[in-house]
Amino acid sequence: MDKIVVEHLNLRYSDGTESLRDLNLVIPANAITALMGPAGGGKSTFLRALNRLNDLADVVAQSGRVLIDGKDILEPEMDVIALRRKVGMVFSRPLPLPLTIYQNVSYGLEVAGERNREVLDKAVKLALDQAELWDEVHDRLSDPAEALSGGQKQRLCLARALALKPEVILLDEPTSALDPVATAKIESSLSELKKNYTIVIAPHNTQQTARVADWVAFFLQGEMIEFGPSKDIFTRPKDKRTEEYILGRYG
């Protein structure tokens, strides 16, 4: 199913940088779509467009459409709070709130008005389970999140997003601060999660893209050069620039 349809998306920052130029792509549900390409290509800008986080940045001009389930989320009347529940995000720095492990996961639900302890307990357990963290923390949910390792913190951030029952999960270089073991755990939860979610990730290197992606979009200087099944992109890219990037000629 086509979960996200992007049509003629253009975005310019106030300093004049054209960060996205005429972007057109379709992001399927129940799969991992990876945004690949050298720094400055527009991957983070694009991820932020998908839950309107650019509203908070210095964006002067944005045009085109981003349809999620057929509805254009760029329309001014879009309920941005509801959108951000539906489209959750995990950032590269694992930064839990200065609260307990439990509270980090329940926080979003409590802010949204959920007060029922049983409902919260269940949601916290489920989200921690989905993030493959429950087994490691179930007996110390009242400990400060600060006490967790970096990898555990990042899985906690993933659980925090999952607790809000999103349909789309955006991840911007989620393992760039993690060691290989912690990275493998995040990648394994993502492979499990994709059965039920639409996942869009900017992996932190090409090897990770090759490991996790079902679909790959190659971004270069604000343009999407190529989009296709991961296998095709890595074995027979259509564009010379994609091939050069994969061969490590730049970025």
Ligand X SMILES: Nc1ncnc2c1ncn2[C@@H]1O[C@H](COP(=O)(O)OP(=O)(O)O)[C@@H](O)[C@H]1O
Other C-beta atoms closer than 10 Å to the C-beta of 95 total 13
Closer to ligand X at the Cβ: 35 or 105?
A: 35
Size of the site for ligand X (CB under 6 A): 14
Closer to Mg ion at the Cβ: 1 or 39?
A: 39
Question: Among the candidate windows 2-10, 40-48, 83-91, 161-169, which touches ligand X by CB under 6 A?
Answer: 40-48
3-state secondary structure of 63: strand
Strand 18-28 relative to strand 87-90: parallel, antiparallel, unpaired? unpaired
Cα 50 to the chain's mean position, in Å?
9
Closer to ligand X at the Cβ: 163 or 246?
A: 246
15 binds ligand X (CB under 6 A): yes
Q: How many Å apart are CA 184 and CA 187, to the nearest integer?
A: 5
Q: What is the DSSP string of 192-248?
A: HHTTTSEEEEE-SSHHHHHHH-SEEEEEETTEEEEEEEHHHHHHS-SSHHHHHHHTT
Query: Considering only residues 5, 7, 10, 17, which one is a binding residue for ligand X as defined by CB under 6 A?
Result: 17
Q: How many Å apart are CA 169 and CA 248, to the nearest integer?
A: 28
* C-beta of residue 187 within 8 angstroms of C-beta of residue 111: no
Question: Among the candidate windows 12-20, 109-117, 144-152, 181-189, which touches ligand X by CB under 6 A?
Answer: 12-20
State the minimum distance, in angstroms, from the CB of residue 58 to ligand X: 5
State the minimum distance, in angstroms, from the CB of residue 31 to Mg ion: 21
203 binds ligand X (CB under 6 A): no
State the minimum distance, in angstroms, from the CB of residue 47 to Mg ion: 8
Scored b (16 or more CB within 10 A) or e, 124-140 reads: bbbbbebbbbbebbeee
Query: Considering only residues 44, 104, 175, 242, which one is a binding residue for ligand X as defined by CB under 6 A?
Result: 44
Query: Considering only residues 55, 58, 143, 192, which one is a binding residue for ligand X as defined by CB under 6 A?
Result: 58
Applying the rule CB under 6 A, the residues between 204 and 233 that interact with ligand X are 219
State the minimum distance, in angstroms, from the CB of residue 37 to ligand X: 6
Q: How many Å apart are CA 122 and CA 197, to the nearest integer?
A: 20
**What tokens does 194 get?**
């994709």
State the minimum distance, in angstroms, from the CB of residue 22 to Mg ion: 20
19 binds ligand X (CB under 6 A): yes
Scored b (16 or more CB within 10 A) or e, 12-41 reads: beeeeeebbeebebebebebbbbbbbeeeb
45 binds ligand X (CB under 6 A): yes
Closer to ligand X at the Cβ: 16 or 113?
A: 16
Residues lying near ligand X in the complex (CB under 6 A) are found at 13, 15, 17, 19, 39-45, 57-58, 219
